[in-house]
Amino acid sequence: MSSAVTILMKPVEGFGVSKVVDSDNPNFKPGDLVSGFTGWEEYSLIRKTEQLRKIQPDDHIPLSYHIGLLGMPGFTAYAGFHEVCSPKSGEYVFVSAASGAVGQLVGQLAKLHGCYVVGSAGSSQKVDLLKNKLGFDEAFNYNDETDLVAALKRCFPQGIDIYFDNVGGEMLDAALLNMRDHGRIAVCGMVSLHSYHDPQGIHNLFTLVTKRITMKGFLQSDYLHLYPRFLDYVISNYKQGKIVYVEDMNEGLENAPAAFVGLFSGKNVGKQVVRVACE
């Protein structure tokens, strides 16, 4: 028995789905499936068992979804959209890095909530995915745009109520100029940190005042009391075919470093997963 799926988030540790081989903890028995922090390795010795979550096997749900759609990225999308963005049906929602592990679910949750949704991504393949598979109303490739302010103005002639920000930087500055009064910006972790360190800085924060915008950073870990409700909602909609999830599956631990590096150049399409072993 071995680690089945590992997603790469740290050089040594990452979220993974594993099967228990042996255990001296009465809460975990050999054969149990768990998700949580594991190593980039075929067999892991896990001492911090409080970070593990038991998985109920379900023939209709791929195991890897427990580190994507039903794991941290999916829950980040759910908590961020429903708890941070205060969405109302009919509102105009913009999602950056929209085909990524988090963004693709944000867009689908917004559609289920009755919003109009536009996503940005870095290739025509991803734009096609957003429009034709993930149900976004509109999408654009930021690499094709010379003026992001104008691109957003074209997609949102009436302005943006909610911006789910996965990237920061120039896109955030452009979104600020396209927000509607009382707009909300959910600032979502990790990838955006690189952009925020952009030496150019953010210049359009004055719109926070004139448009009374709320900008809120968040971490999914503050909302864990909502996790059961999230699972019910997403699994139910997934089984009804109302939610889909796109993964970029690499095979073999030896391909993990390249998959990790690819995240920073946008090489992955959808949630990046590495299959370490499979029964």
Residues at the site binding a second copy, with contacts judged by CB under 8 A: 168, 172, 187-189, 192-193, 196-219, 222
The distance of closest approach from Cβ of residue 80 to a second copy in the complex, given in angstroms and rounded to an integer, is 11
Give dist(CA 20, CA 139) in Å, integer: 42
The distance of closest approach from Cβ of residue 195 to a second copy in the complex, given in angstroms and rounded to an integer, is 9
Give dist(CA 192, CA 75) in Å, integer: 18
Give dist(CA 276, CA 5) in Å, integer: 6
The distance of closest approach from Cβ of residue 12 to a second copy in the complex, given in angstroms and rounded to an integer, is 21
Compare residues 133 and 216 and give the one whose CB is closer to a second copy: 216
Burial call 119-139: b when 16+ CB within 10 Å, e when fewer: bbbbbeebbebbbeebbbbbb
Compare residues 189 and 266 and give the one whose CB is closer to a second copy: 189
Q: Is 241 exposed, middle or buried (0-12, 13-18, 19+ CB in 10 A)?
A: exposed
**Which is it for strands 92-95 and 160-165: parallel, antiparallel or unpaired?**
parallel
Residue 89 in contact with residue 31, Cβ under 8 Å?
no
Compare residues 153 and 211 and give the one whose CB is closer to a second copy: 211
Compare residues 99 and 220 and give the one whose CB is closer to a second copy: 220
Both tokens of 173, joined, read: 């500055």
Compare residues 190 and 261 and give the one whose CB is closer to a second copy: 190
The distance of closest approach from Cβ of residue 200 to a second copy in the complex, given in angstroms and rounded to an integer, is 6
Compare residues 151 and 172 and give the one whose CB is closer to a second copy: 172
Side chain identity at residue 17, one-letter code: V
The distance of closest approach from Cβ of residue 165 to a second copy in the complex, given in angstroms and rounded to an integer, is 9
